[in-house]
Amino acid sequence: MVTIDEHRCSATPDVAFQVAADVEGWPGILPHYRWVRFLRKDGFAQGLVEMAAWRPFGPLRYPTWWVSEMEHDAVKRQVRYRHVRGVTRGMDVLWEVSELPDGGSHLRLVHEWDGPPWPLIRGFAAERIIGPGFISHIAARTLAGVSAESERRHRFGA
């Protein structure tokens, strides 16, 4: 399963990358995030990070949770995750922030995963349920929130 979610942002790529990589600040700017905490912090945007988010279904909210090895490359404006715990164990995630011709940013989020270790329904669960119903849904909300915060910081020089 591969999901690709993208968003255009009017903030500069450096500002957008800083917001995208600063995951400890996400619960303060992304209402669907329950918490983000480093279990092992090796530096800014580096280490073993635990994340939890809500996936809304109408008035109901379903809790999601995972732990990832996180690293970043500030020069390339990329953040990489490898999910090591949770239903999505084995998933690779790539955040990319690139510059647009107008000086804004293109935010791209790629999730790659073979699916959960469930015999017979592994591919179906990943391709039809978890990918579009959870991963892409949460990713789209995250991209929109990171974009909004980046634009706010860009406007106000924060």
Residue 55: exposure state from Cβ atoms within 10 A (0-12, 13-18, ≥19) = middle
43 membership: H or E segment, kind and range? strand 33-43
pLDDT of residue 132: 87
Digit-coded pLDDT (tens) for 81-93: 999 999 999 999 9
Task: Give the chain's domains with CATH numbers.
Answer: 2-156 (3.30.530.20)
Tell me the Cα Rg of the chain: 15
Judged against a pLDDT cut of 80, whether residue 58 lies above it is answered with yes
Q: In angstroms, what CA-CA distances link 94 with 43, 57, 59? A: 19, 26, 31
Mean pLDDT in residue range 8-24:
97
Q: Which residue has the higher pLDDT, 56 or 68?
A: 68
Tell me the C-alpha distance between 67 and 48, whole Å: 7
Tell me which residue of 139, 131, 135 sits closest to 1, measured CA to CA: 131
pTM score of the predicted model:
0.93
